[in-house]
Structure 1
Amino acid sequence: MALPAQAGDNEIALSATTNFTTDYVFRGISQTREGPAAQAEFDLTYGIFYAGIWGSNVDFGGSGFGDDIASIEIDYYAGIAPTWQGISFDIAGLYYTYPGAYDPAGNFDYFELKTGASYTFNEALTLGVANYWSPEFFGETGDATRSSSRPNTRSLASCSISSRPASAAGSVGSGRNSPTTPSGMPA
């Protein structure tokens, strides 16, 4: 994923990313029933502004009436990522959609507002926090807030807590991903 340009960068940048994974996991829950996923992302940046679209196959099972509940997810996002005295900020709107989803009890599509900040101490350590808020979460379950913090080190450890539906997830691994990437899309 292309990182947002900083102030003074007045060029439009376009980027595209593809990803193939053995299981699309979003906030600790498999979105493909532990099956493989093909994903694509297109980003546009200009200075501190960015926008993009991200998509993946999903598998939420069947409806019992021969219909798949959902088979595709397409997310749209736009935001601003300024820096101030070494602190990187990220403020964005994200809209998650499930075209053609079969859900007679509610609507899967939802909006989230993301706010985040991170600080790089040195090349080996960046600390950051992010908060996601939705006025009407997935499946029309009401408002929801999810906050997370993640160090960016060679030995990555992360933890997140979510409300409505209540869940908690954590992981330990290896990587150099920033907690405040421009899109906030799943890796």
Structure 2
Amino acid sequence: MSKRPYSAANPSPDKTAKATVDAVKDITISEKASDEKKDDESKKDEKKDDKEVSNFVMPNYLDGSFHWSYERLASAALIPLISTQVIYGAHPVLDGVLGLVLPLHLHIGFDSCITDYFPARNYPRANKYMAWGLKATSAAVIWGCFEFNTNDVGITELIQRTLTA
């Protein structure tokens, strides 16, 4: 067996092994240094996260926290209002409260439909026009209920007359 001559393309196995070991050492050292930097950065990030977690964030209407609460409150308020009117008959104060809570309940329900089916990110103009249209309609309904309760027989009496006619 003849020994092959040294060339850059065919270095001797001893030199190749030494070069590989040196390269692995360099990579290992650089990885340790980068890991230490990452550890330092993660400790700084953890400190930032601790500060961010401790901050109180105000509820946002768009998050649904207020919307859900108002919807449940309006729904729950309708139960005693309607049952009281059915049991005891018409009363002007309860008619006035019903003239506010019922349109509020309907407004919240239609607002949910607009938000769900015409989101502002997909339909910005339609969402805006529908929202303003809903607000105007709700205001008109509340005004109409007020006028009907003060100048006519009232909401409860109208329903009783309609059901007995």
TM-score, normalised to structure 1, is 0.19
- Larger RCO (CA within 8 A; separation ≥ 6): 2
* Higher relative strand content: 1
